[in-house]
């Protein structure tokens, strides 16, 4: 499943974003994406979805894509032809935008269910939202890549599981270094 390889540069997002969070860098970009807007009296995305985070995520994935393509040509050659034709800058930017956009519906849902930013729901809702939270970026990337590549549904499903597992590990590491307040 060559399409799954497109998710490797996603690791650039937390590699760039974690130190920015840990050391509170770029504070002028620490502004909510939703600008404080509400719907039904609740915030759209909450305070944790910021312009700083969006920029770091997109830039981290873009840089990782460019570095992987330059340093590991075999990785780039294994990607589907449509992605290679689009070029690493376009692919990196679209994947980065996809991970940012992929997180927004889950954040919106959590705000509408009165789940505070950075915390978890309770009961059965917790399991569903936690699973979605770990793999939501796959759905966002799938949609963001549509202008240049239609990823097969089987690849999306496998990527959702794989990315969810990796995301859990990254969350635990982020918690261990102080970049996250919870491990999930």
Which residue range(s) make up the domain with 55? 2-176
Identify whether 182 is part of a domain.
no
- Judged against a pLDDT cut of 70, whether residue 85 lies above it is answered with yes
- For residue range 15-74, what is the model confidence (pLDDT) as tens digits? 999 899 989 999 999 999 999 999 999 999 999 999 999 999 999 999 999 999 999 999
Identify whether 18 is part of a domain.
yes
* Per-residue pLDDT, 118: 67
Count the domains in the chain.
1
* Per-residue pLDDT, 97: 98
* Per-residue pLDDT, 84: 97
Whether the full predicted model's pTM is greater than 0.85, yes or no, is yes
- For residue range 90-127, what is the model confidence (pLDDT) as tens digits? 999 999 999 999 999 999 999 999 887 667 777 777 77
Coil, strand, or helix at residue 2?
helix
C-alpha separations of 110 from 57, 59, 98 in Å? 21, 26, 19
Identify whether 183 is part of a domain.
no
* Per-residue pLDDT, 54: 98
Question: What integer is the mean pLDDT of 10-15?
Answer: 93
Alpha carbons 184 and 174: distance in angstroms, whole number: 10
Identify whether 167 is part of a domain.
yes
* Per-residue pLDDT, 152: 93
- Max CA separation in the chain (angstroms): 51
Helix segments in 72-152, DSSP class H: 73-78, 81-86, 88-112, 123-144
Segment (H or E) for 77: helix 73-78
- For residue range 129-166, what is the model confidence (pLDDT) as tens digits? 777 777 899 999 999 999 999 999 999 999 999 988 88
Residue 29 φ/ψ, nearest 5 degrees? -95, 5
9: pLDDT confidence band, cut at 50, 70 and 90? very high
- For residue range 169-182, what is the model confidence (pLDDT) as tens digits? 888 888 888 877 77
């Amino acid at each position: 499943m060559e399409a799954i390889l497109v998710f490797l540069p996603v690791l650039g997002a937390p590699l760039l974003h974690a130190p920015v969070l840990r050391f509170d860098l770029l504070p002028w970009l620490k502004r909510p994406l939703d600008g404080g807007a509400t719907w039904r009296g609740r915030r759209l995305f909450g305070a944790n979805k910021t312009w700083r985070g969006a920029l770091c995520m997109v830039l981290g994935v873009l840089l990782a894509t460019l570095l992987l393509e330059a340093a590991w040509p075999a990785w780039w050659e294994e990607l589907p032809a449509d992605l290679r034709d689009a070029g690493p800058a376009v692919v990196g930017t679209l994947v980065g935008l996809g991970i940012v956009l992929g997180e927004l519906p889950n954040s919106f849902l959590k705000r509408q269910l009165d789940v505070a930013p950075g915390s978890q729901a309770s009961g059965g809702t917790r399991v569903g939202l936690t699973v979605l939270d770990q793999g939501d970026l796959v759905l966002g990337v799938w949609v963001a890549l549509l202008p240049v590549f239609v990823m097969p549904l089987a690849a999306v499903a496998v990527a959702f599981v794989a990315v969810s597992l990796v995301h859990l590990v990254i969350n635990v590491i982020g918690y261990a270094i102080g970049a996250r307040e919870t491990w999930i």
